[in-house]
């Protein structure tokens, strides 16, 4: 198996995790769109976190497919895994606040769950890179 084929097989787990993060970002963005016009302050936060998750994950997947070596793939995983993890932490803290779920409890809860799941998937990407791709936790 050539080096490049080997890398392609190694990145399946992080690609899937980041793809799920894209879906979670879309969920949060949809929540933001559905509350449009109700409460602008929470709209902004839903759109911000949703778009951050979508953008970080899409760029991460694109860079993973371009990576030619295991180390490079590992570096991409660490960078984007932590970005997704950290964005999820920010999201879950914000959506737990009453100010941002005013009268829209279901929307807030959905966004909080999506943020919590993105924390998990971000961590999966990071830990996978550490254990299977052999890179350190901060590249």
Partner 1 sequence: MGESEASKSYPWKDIRGDYVLVPVPPWERRTLMNIFLVYTGVLSCLAVLWGGGALGMQGNLHEVLLATIIGDIVLSIIGGLCAYIGGTAHQSTYGIMRHIYGWYGSWVFGVLLSGIPAWGWFVVETWLFGVMIHDLAPHNPLCSIPWAALWGGLLMTTTAYVGYAGLAFLSYVVVPAFFVIVTAGFLSGIYFGGGFAKLWTFHPAHPVPLSALITQVVGLYICGAIITPDIARFSRKAHHGSTAWVVQIMVLMTYYMVASAMLTMAMGGAYFSKAMLLAGLGLGAYFAAIFGQWTTNDNNLYSSALSWDLFIPIKKRHLILILGIIASVYAWYTGLTAGASLKPFISFLMWLGTWLPPIGGVMIADFYVYQAYKGVPRHKRYEMFIGKEFALVNWVAWLSMFIGGACAQGWIFPKSILATVPASIVGFIIAFIVYVILSIGLDKAGVSLYIGKAKINEYGLPVKVKKEG
Residues 50, 52, 76, 125, CA torsion sign: negative
Verify binding: residue 45, partner 1, rule CB under 8 A.
yes
Q: Name the segment binding partner 1 (CB under 8 A); options: 2-10, 29-37, 89-97, 104-112.
A: 89-97
79 binds partner 1 (CB under 8 A): yes
DSSP of 58-95: HHHHHHHHH--SHHHHHHHHHHHHHHHHHHHHHHHHHH
Stretch that binds partner 1, among 19-27, 28-36, 83-91, 106-114 (CB under 8 A): 83-91
Least distance between partner 1 and beta carbon 101 (Å): 9
Is 19:60 a contact under the CB 8 Å cutoff?
A: no
Footprint on this chain of partner 1 (rule: CB under 8 A): 41, 44-45, 48-49, 52, 75, 78-79, 82-83, 85-87, 89-91, 93-94, 96-100, 136-139
């Amino acid at each position: 198996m050539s080096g490049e084929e080997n890398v392609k097989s190694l990145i399946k787990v992080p690609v899937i995790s980041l793809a799920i993060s894209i879906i979670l970002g879309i969920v949060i963005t949809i929540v933001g769109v559905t509350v449009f016009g109700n409460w602008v302050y929470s709209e902004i936060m839903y759109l911000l976190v949703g778009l951050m998750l979508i953008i970080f994950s899409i760029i991460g997947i694109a860079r993973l497919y371009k990576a030619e070596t295991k180390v490079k793939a590992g570096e991409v995983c660490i960078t984007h895994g932590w970005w997704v993890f950290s964005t999820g932490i920010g999201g879950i803290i914000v959506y737990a606040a009453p100010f941002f779920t005013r009268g829209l409890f279901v929307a807030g809860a959905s966004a909080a769950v999506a943020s919590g799941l993105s924390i998990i998937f971000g961590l999966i990407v990071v830990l996978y890179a550490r254990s299977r791709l052999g890179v350190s936790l901060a590249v």
